[in-house]
Structure 1
Amino acid sequence: MPTSINNSKINNITIIQNAIGASLACELSKIAGSSHPYLAPLAVIICLHATLGESILHGYLKIIGTFLGALATGFIAPYIGSNAWSIGLVVLLGMGMPRLLALSNEVGNHAAISALLILAFHNNGGYTIDRVRDTIIGVFIAILVKWVVGTIMGKVKG
């Protein structure tokens, strides 16, 4: 029974961290000039994990993957259209580049998702730049929120 209560408490804290982090990331993204401020909270939700170390690791992998996805697709999206073949191409590029660089499957997944979304939204005013910048903002906020709450919780316990 104590384990489920303990897990419930951790889950509640994680929910609160995500809510606070998503709000902060959205506002910071708007201040940074994003036309797509929902991307930063998305990065918070993806990168906020049980420990600070896990959040840092997953944030780092998300940034690398997002950058590679933007690199793979950002320059070609305006010229290849959006159809089944171009989707296959950008997913291949997004997942293939990290593979060639001997990076993790997680990086490949983030790269493919970014590549696909950049292909879909490239006509939507600066999406590629917003995608990369807002991912960095979201990862930074996720790590900051995790660190601040961990510091506070550590002081409360100690």
Structure 2
Amino acid sequence: MEELKSQNPSDNLTSLIWKLSIGSTLAWEISKFFGSEHPYLGPVSLILTIQTTMDKTVSLSFKRVIGTMIGIIITVIVASHLKVTGLNLGLIILIGTYTAKFLKLDKKVLHQIALTILFVFAFEHKSDHYAMDRMRDTLVGVLVASLIQFIWSSLNSRKKTMK
């Protein structure tokens, strides 16, 4: 389902501003509701995945979730045996991104894996809940992004039909 494009580029920016604002509010509050100690992770996922169309938002959301899952799994398995150092971070990112290459996943997933490994490796030692919050809040963020995109697209389609 392709979102109808506005004749005015300013309308598209206005639409994005509202989606980011409303979506971030919802993602934060939903993450907190589900017990997150890091509720900013929900809005981060929303901000990084919301796109101009529903299809693009869902595609990027899927890649973010896959990359986050792989990054968390590899970091939890490997990082528990390592100290937090730059060299160890690089080694875990190497393992994670080569895993994605082996699975024939695209560059966007590789980026998500690397980001997840970085943050989980750095923060899990300080907060035992970071990895779980990261996964749950990523799901919250991408689901809210998709919901906001769906509602916005539906409203725009109705508005165009009424004209």
TM score, norm. by length of structure 2: 0.91
Match of 1:22 in 2: 24
Q: Are 2:145 and 1:142 aligned?
A: yes
Deviation at 1:78, TM superposition (A): 3.0
* 28 and 10 in structure 1: CA distance in 2 versus 1, 3 angstrom threshold: same
Match of 2:111 in 1: 109
Question: For structure 1, which segment, 90-99 or 33-42, has the greater mean C-alpha deviation from structure 2 after superposition?
Answer: 90-99
* Matched position secondary structure for 1:21: helix
Deviation at 1:8, TM superposition (A): 1.4
Q: 2:133 aligns with which of 113, 130, 134?
A: 130
8 Å Cα contact 1:97/1:108 also seen in 2: no
8 Å Cα contact 1:35/1:125 also seen in 2: no
8 Å Cα contact 2:71/2:116 also seen in 1: yes
* Matched position secondary structure for 2:77: coil
TM score, norm. by length of structure 1: 0.94
- Unaligned segments of structure 1, at least 5 residues: none
RMSD: 1.5
8 Å Cα contact 2:78/2:92 also seen in 1: no
Q: Distance in 2 between matches of 1:118 and 1:78?
A: 11
8 Å Cα contact 1:26/1:41 also seen in 2: yes
Letter in 2 for 1:125: D
Deviation at 1:94, TM superposition (A): 2.3
8 Å Cα contact 2:84/2:121 also seen in 1: yes
- Unaligned segments of structure 2, at least 5 residues: none
Match of 2:123 in 1: 121
Match of 1:154 in 2: 157
Extract structure 1 runs of 4+ deviating beyond 4 A: none
Letter in 1 for 2:25: S
Q: 1:32 aligns with which of 28, 31, 34?
A: 34
The percentage of aligned residue pairs carrying the same residue is 31
8 Å Cα contact 1:77/1:118 also seen in 2: no
* 5 and 157 in structure 1: CA distance in 2 versus 1, 3 angstrom threshold: closer
Q: Distance in 1 between matches of 2:86 and 2:132?
A: 24
Give the number of equivalent residue pairs: 156
Deviation at 1:4, TM superposition (A): 9.5
Deviation at 1:5, TM superposition (A): 6.2
* 112 and 55 in structure 1: CA distance in 2 versus 1, 3 angstrom threshold: same
Match of 2:97 in 1: 95
Deviation at 1:79, TM superposition (A): 2.3
* Matched position secondary structure for 2:8: helix
Question: For structure 1, which segment, 143-152 or 5-14, has the greater mean C-alpha deviation from structure 2 after superposition?
Answer: 5-14
8 Å Cα contact 1:93/1:112 also seen in 2: no
